[in-house]
Every structure is written in C-alpha cells, then in structure tokens.
A and B are shown apart, each in its own frame.
Chain A
Amino acid sequence: MPQGPLVYRQRLTTRITHWVWAVSLFFLMLTGLQIFNAHPSLHIGQESGFDYDNAILKIGAQKEGGTLRGVTQVFGVAFDTTGVLGVSGGEARAIPAALTIPSTQSLATGRVIHFFFAWLLVGTLSFWLVASALNGHLRQLIPTLADLRALPRDLVDHARLRVHHTADYNVLQKLAYASVLFVALPLMILTGLSMSPGVNAAAPWLLDLFQGRQTARTIHFLTMLALLGFFAAHMAMILLAGPLNEMRSILTGWYRTDGDRE
C-alpha cells in the first residue's frame, strides 16, 4: 500500500463527467445490443447484402430436428453458440436477455434509451473537453517526451504487475485514457451519426470517411468491443493498484502516492 502524501488528483469536472460517462456507456452498450438484435449481422459497404454476401458477422438460429441451435458466423466460418448467441433462454435471439435493455425484444425502447444517453455522452464530453482545455487537465493526458522514453520501463512494470502510485498518470494510463477520449468515443459518435439518414444529408462526407453506412455500423460495433476491452483492463488495474485508493480519488479527488519510497 502506498504510504506517501495525499495529492489532489482529479478535479470535480473530471469526477462528475467520469461517472456520467460510466452510466451512459453502460446504457449505450446494452441498448445498442438490443438495437443490434433487430438485424444481427454486420456488413461492409453502403448497403446490407441480401442477394449477395458482404457480411463479416452473422448471428442466427437454425432449427435442427426440433431443437433450436444458435449459429454465429465470423467471416463465413460458422460456430455453434447455442445458449449464448443466436439462441438463449429457449428463444431465438442474437444477444441474450441479460445483455440487453430492455431484456425483452423492443427495438423502439432500445432506440429511445440509446439516443437519450448518446445526447448525454456528447453533452458531457463536450463540456469536459472545453473545461479540461481551460484548466490544463488535457495536458495531463498527452504523453510527454520523457513519458515516451519511460514507455519500455512502464510496459515491463505493468507486465510484472508492479504498480507505482504517482501524482501524474503514467504513460500507459495517459495512452489508454487518451485513446478512449480522443479516438474511441469520437469514433463511436461519428459512426453513430453516419447511420442517421438525416445526418447523411447534412454531412455526406461522413459516409465517404467510413466507406458507407453499413461499414460505419460495423465500426460502431467493433469500437464498442474495444471500449469493453478498455473497461476490463480499467477494472483489472483498479484492483491491482488498490481499489480503495483508486475509488477515493475518482470520488473525492484525493489520491495517496508512494512518496519517498519511489
């Protein structure tokens, strides 16, 4: 456990927006999976191939001798995913009820909740971006030259599960947070907007950027998986670094550092 002094590490704007994002992303993911269930396949291009195949992922159910079998096809290779994907709880549905909001099939409800939290995410992200540009927090997220020089050592430390508690973020932390805030979330928002026929009229360049509405939908889904990966790593690091100290810093702002032992 770190024994050094307490430092004020997270400002109020960062703490509040962090929790708004956590709640928003939770709802966005589970309502997103509800929406995905209405057409559980991912395509490449402007349109979805029905008379031809441009799918990279397809989740479906097949009737085999009186029993339903869940089948997931990735790049044309089929896997039996009965119980999880394609068929779960005895019914044909791509994503199981435990992972969708609402738990029953309701595209309309999923959409209404999805767009509500999409607005909330975009609003708080914009607010945070402006506030952080003004109060200097943005600079704390951009790796410095010294950070990059320390990258190999930081990688080794992380691989050995050796955690340092410092007032500043370490380089891997900076890279992880910056990729979520400046790459993954903007990508999520832009690919989401690319699926809107209204936005397509207002900003057709988005379709050129992502090479079509269905490709944008596929990127939207894959970025969700990347964010899920970040969430898993984020949780693992919190447990590893000392959950009480980490929770205190994201709730009150105060974080105990290693102090002189460093």
Chain B
Amino acid sequence: MINRRHLMLGSAALSLSGCKVFDRASDPDSALRQLFASHEGLTRSTQRALIGDRLAPEFSEADIRQGQRPNGSTDPDSTDYRRMAEAGFRDYRLTVTGLVDVPQSLSLADLARLPSRTQITRHDCVEGWSCIAKWQGVPLGTVLQMARPKVTARYAVFHCFDAIERSLSGEVFYYESIDLIDAFHSQTILAYAMNGAPLPVANGAPLRLRVERQLGYKMAKYVHTVELTDSLAALGYGKGSYWADRGYEWYAGI
C-alpha cells in the first residue's frame, strides 16, 4: 500500500500507466508538443550568444580513419540528375537567385576558379553518430557576395536534386535553409571535394553545403539553387527545411 502510494506521488507512476500518454507529443499541432518545443528559441539565442563567429573544431589528416558515411538520399534517380552525373556534371549549374541584385549561374569550373577553403571537420548526424572527413569548396559568402544580396535578405534557402519523399501527391525535393549569420561564416562552404577527391554521388555530388556548427541534416546535398529570401513561410510547411517541417529543430546546433 505504502509502496503504491509513494509511486503515485512520484513520477514513476507515469511509467506504470505506460509512456503512451506522451505519444500525443508526436503530433506537431498538439498543445503538449508546442509546450515542449518552446525551448527552441532559447536554445538558439543562447548558443548564438555563446558562439559568436567562433569556428567549429578542425581535425588533422590522422583523424580521418574512414570514409564519410552517407545518409539520407544517396543516389538521386531523376533523369536530369542521372544524365548530368553520367556526363561528369559538365552541364551542372549552380543558380543563385531570389533577393539578389546580380543573379548567378555558375559551372563547377567557375566555382573551382574561386578561392577555396579546405577543412577537416566532424560531421554529427542527428541520430547520434559522428564521422570525420576533409571538405574542400567555395565559401558560401564568396558566392553570395558575387550575387550582391539585397538588404532585405535574411535567409539562404537550398534547393536540391534529390527527391527525399514520394507520394501520390508528387515528389518532395530536399530543401534546407540557414540564416545569413551561418551563411557568411567562414567555415560555411559549398563543397565539391571530399577527402581529396571529387565529391562522390553518395555524399551529394556535385555540390553540397557544409554548416559545421550544426547537425548533418542542415548540410543539404545535391544543391542546384541557392535562393535568398526574407521569409521561410512559403517554403514547404513553413518551418524552413524538410526535417524542420517534420518536427526537428530548424536551428540544429544541438
């Protein structure tokens, strides 16, 4: 009796009735979910205040002990993408559009001519694993400067070749976004090479984003367009990224 009484008072009672009572927190529209998700703004502003423009840790060649584990889409199968991949991405163009004065259309050769940055960093998947690899590419800031962002621009949105989801209503192509603080951070690059070789298809060929101070899902692969915008409301369900629209944090520094 006493034992039971104590359990009733303690939180352990919750486990007796099964944790299913909290399953409704999985519903993005539930009040419970809204309550739990209320920490997101606090997490972002706290991290931003602590981090400033500091760099993510970088590692040495000796720390590269394995290949970069691919995740998410690993082999986009649209005919356009396939044709381009077979031709070694000769016809690939990166489009920079949206709230810019000088829209850009850049080939891989154009990108290779720009000053590049090489960094050995740790990729952290939201699932919990980590993998260290060497990335080389053009700082996103360089590309954005060429396009002359308008003062109203607040976010960089990335549109990708890979259909991450297929349903009767059509295909959902991967989309992701970051704010301009991360877009102009010196380690934020559009990578075209990995571990000293051209970026493999499994890892996002021909061009992928690296946002080293956030989790892996922010680092869009198979990028074809960077769009500057002042609002994320019109993108997907309005949370700013494929995974944010499915309950994950838009700011993924944690």
The interface size of chain B toward A, counting residues with CB under 8 Å, comes to 62
A36 to B5, CA, bound (A): 32
Per-residue CB contact flags for chain A residues 84-103 toward chain B (1 = under 8 Å, else 0) read: 00000000000001111111
Taking a contact as CB atoms under 8 Å apart, the answer to whether A113 and B22 are in contact is yes
> Which residue, B5, B128, B243, B248, has most C-beta atoms of chain A within 10 A?
B128
Answer whether residue A3 sits at the interface, using C-beta atoms and an 8 A cutoff: no
Taking a contact as CB atoms under 8 Å apart, the answer to whether B122 and A103 are in contact is no
Known A26-B12, A108-B246, A202-B51; further 16 A-B contacts with Cβ < 8 A: A26-B11, A39-B125, A97-B19, A98-B19, A101-B19, A108-B247, A108-B248, A112-B37, A112-B247, A116-B36, A116-B39, A197-B122, A197-B213, A197-B252, A199-B254, A204-B57
Per-residue CB contact flags for chain A residues 107-118 toward chain B (1 = under 8 Å, else 0) read: 111011101100
A251 to B122, CA, bound (A): 47
Taking a contact as CB atoms under 8 Å apart, the answer to whether B126 and A107 are in contact is yes
Kindly report which residue of chain A lies nearest to residue B126, judged by CB atoms.
A107
Q: How far is the CB of B39 from chain A (nearest CB, A)?
A: 5
Answer whether residue A131 sits at the interface, using C-beta atoms and an 8 A cutoff: no
Answer whether residue A140 sits at the interface, using C-beta atoms and an 8 A cutoff: no
Taking a contact as CB atoms under 8 Å apart, the answer to whether B132 and A47 are in contact is yes
Q: Which of B205-254 contact A (CB under 8 A)?
A: 212-215, 243, 246-249, 252-254
Answer whether residue B197 sits at the interface, using C-beta atoms and an 8 A cutoff: no
A203 to B124, CA, bound (A): 16
Taking a contact as CB atoms under 8 Å apart, the answer to whether A197 and B124 are in contact is yes
Taking a contact as CB atoms under 8 Å apart, the answer to whether B38 and A103 are in contact is no
Taking a contact as CB atoms under 8 Å apart, the answer to whether A46 and B63 are in contact is yes
Answer whether residue A244 sits at the interface, using C-beta atoms and an 8 A cutoff: yes
Given contacts A49-B66, A115-B43, A243-B6, contact A38 B127 (CB under 8 A): yes
**For A112, what are the chain B residues with a Cβ–Cβ distance below 8 Å?**
25, 33, 36-37, 39-40, 247, 249
**For A207, what are the chain B residues with a Cβ–Cβ distance below 8 Å?**
57
Q: Is the interface of A mostly helix, strand, loop or mixed?
A: helix
Answer whether residue A239 sits at the interface, using C-beta atoms and an 8 A cutoff: yes
**For A99, what are the chain B residues with a Cβ–Cβ distance below 8 Å?**
19
A181 to B157, CA, bound (A): 44
Q: How far is the CB of B194 from chain A (nearest CB, A)?
A: 15
Answer whether residue A62 sits at the interface, using C-beta atoms and an 8 A cutoff: no
A139 to B209, CA, bound (A): 52
Q: How far is the CB of B25 from chain A (nearest CB, A)?
A: 5
> Which residue, B59, B122, B212, has most C-beta atoms of chain A within 10 A?
B122
A196 to B22, CA, bound (A): 25
Taking a contact as CB atoms under 8 Å apart, the answer to whether B65 and A22 are in contact is no
Interface residues of B (CB under 8 A from A): 2-3, 5-6, 9-12, 14-15, 18-20, 22-23, 25-26, 33, 35-40, 42-43, 47, 50-52, 54-57, 59, 63, 65-67, 69, 122, 124-132, 212-215, 243, 246-249, 252-254
Interface residues of A (CB under 8 A from B): 22-23, 26, 30, 35-36, 38-39, 43, 46-52, 97-104, 106-109, 111-113, 115-116, 119, 195-204, 207, 213-214, 217, 235, 238-239, 243-244, 247, 251
Taking a contact as CB atoms under 8 Å apart, the answer to whether B15 and A98 are in contact is yes
Taking a contact as CB atoms under 8 Å apart, the answer to whether A22 and B10 are in contact is yes
Given contacts A49-B66, A243-B6, contact A22 B129 (CB under 8 A): no
- Find B247's partner among A22, A109, A198, A235 (CB 8 Å cutoff): A109
Given contacts A109-B25, A109-B247, A202-B50, contact A39 B55 (CB under 8 A): no
Given contacts A39-B125, A119-B42, contact A103 B18 (CB under 8 A): yes
A207 to B132, CA, bound (A): 14
Taking a contact as CB atoms under 8 Å apart, the answer to whether A48 and B131 are in contact is yes
**For B130, what are the chain A residues with a Cβ–Cβ distance below 8 Å?**
46-48, 213-214
Taking a contact as CB atoms under 8 Å apart, the answer to whether B33 and A197 are in contact is no
Given contacts A196-B254, A197-B212, contact A106 B2 (CB under 8 A): no
Kindly report which residue of chain A lies nearest to residue B254, judged by CB atoms.
A196
Given contacts A50-B69, A199-B50, contact A115 B56 (CB under 8 A): no
**For B253, what are the chain A residues with a Cβ–Cβ distance below 8 Å?**
196-199
A35 to B215, CA, bound (A): 14
Given contacts A198-B213, A202-B47, contact A217 B128 (CB under 8 A): yes
20 pairs from A and B in contact (CB 8 Å cutoff): A30-B15, A35-B128, A39-B127, A52-B66, A98-B18, A102-B19, A102-B22, A102-B25, A103-B19, A103-B23, A106-B26, A111-B249, A112-B40, A197-B213, A197-B253, A199-B47, A201-B56, A202-B50, A213-B122, A244-B2
